[in-house]
Amino acid sequence: MVSDGGQPATVVPDLGWPERRRDDVPRGTSPIGWPAGIDPTGRMPAVDPPAPPAGLTLPAPDRTRVVAVTNQKGGVGKTTTAVNVAAALAQGGRRVLVVDLDPQGNASTALSIEHAEGTPGVYEVIVGGAAISDVVRASPEIEGLSVVPASIDLAGAEVDLVSLVARESRLNRALTAYLAEQEDSDQRVDYVFVDCPPSLGLLTVNALVAGKEILIPIQCEYYALEGVGQLLRTVDMVRTHLNPDLRVSTIVLTMHDARTRLSSGVADEVRAHFPDQVLRTAIPRSVRISEAPSYGQTVMTYDASSSGALSYLEVAREMAARGVTAGGTP
């Protein structure tokens, strides 16, 4: 168990003070009505942040890495991690596909991809048998990044899938065909990130069958490891019956708050359990990260110089490096 010096676990509320800098204000116009340059929190007037490191190139993996981002615990940073690592890798010159496999459509929102009810997306692929090339959309913000959107229609998929043939491997089939097609036309996709819903139902199983790697975001809060045992048992089951190559390659600590002993305690405990999988970089709790989706952006474009963006860039670097060195993941 995580110890907090014998005291009951308390979480210090995020006051946002480490984030208050002169350049730490939003650009652009919020979809909920804040005019450009006006900071809705009443802070300093807008000043464009410094540009991200120019010309940064991240190494390409030997072959496409398909990564299921999963944790059945809700709100731990699955979507935030999927979209920001995907964005950082694409900014680093890689071709990246994000598959939004959550009826909430949060990854589609963060990447500014239309996903209103009725929009063709991942439901049509896994239930309707459509090709990914028919529904994939390019990110309007980031070159090299594309998205298979999810609309609320996907909420019915868990039920609709039950009666279908090969119900666990429908995403895998569609993805394999799409990746082969892209490779044949010299457009090889380097990374696919599948953003899973907070459950271990058939949608998540489809992601675990389609991917070789699993990325588990773990929030640096009390109860962080609760449920991870159940997730690992599901992974074992899928490995035994459906996907022998599947492995938990990466664990990312999220919402880390260096000011609390609780956060550090959880981080230490997770590192002790999974010494080879936990990345060195932990993602800090950051107001900029949580603001970005309301502007239809990742933090990588919303505020490239913020601590959140720099941390996700580091995570992308670590993942890319692990994929090309001995003991790497793919």
137 binds ligand ATP (CB under 6 A): no
In angstroms, the CA 280 to CA 87 distance is: 20
Under rule CB under 6 A, residue 79 binds ligand ATP: yes
**Burial status of residue 35 (CB atoms within 10 A of its CB: 0-12, 13-18, 19 or more):** exposed
Q: Cα–Cα–Cα angle for 293, 317, 203, nearest 5°? A: 55
The residue type at 185 = S
Classify the phi-psi angles of 166: left when phi > 0, otherwise alpha if psi is within -120 to 50, otherwise beta: left
250 binds, among Mg ion, ligand ATP, none (CB under 5 to 8 A by kind): none
104-133 positions binding Mg ion, by CB under 5 A: 106
CB of 182 to ligand ATP, least distance (A): 26
Which residues 194-253 are close enough to bind ligand ATP by CB under 6 A?
A: 198
Q: Is 297 in the site for ligand ATP (CB under 6 A)?
A: no
- Token pair, residue 200, equals 């271990």
Q: Which is nearer to ligand ATP, 75 or 140 (CB)?
A: 75
Beta strands in 154-255 (DSSP E): 191-195, 213-219, 247-254
Residues 76-105 within binding reach of Mg ion (CB under 5 A): 78-79
Element (H, E) at 208: helix 202-210
Choice between 125 and 255, CB closer to ligand ATP:
255
- Do 320 and 89 form a contact (C-beta atoms < 8 A)? yes
The binding track of 254-273 with respect to ligand ATP, each residue x by CB under 6 A or -, is xx------------------
Name the site residues for Mg ion (rule: CB under 5 A): 78-79, 106
Name the site residues for ligand ATP (rule: CB under 6 A): 74-80, 102, 104, 106, 198, 254-255, 283, 285-286, 289-290, 293, 308
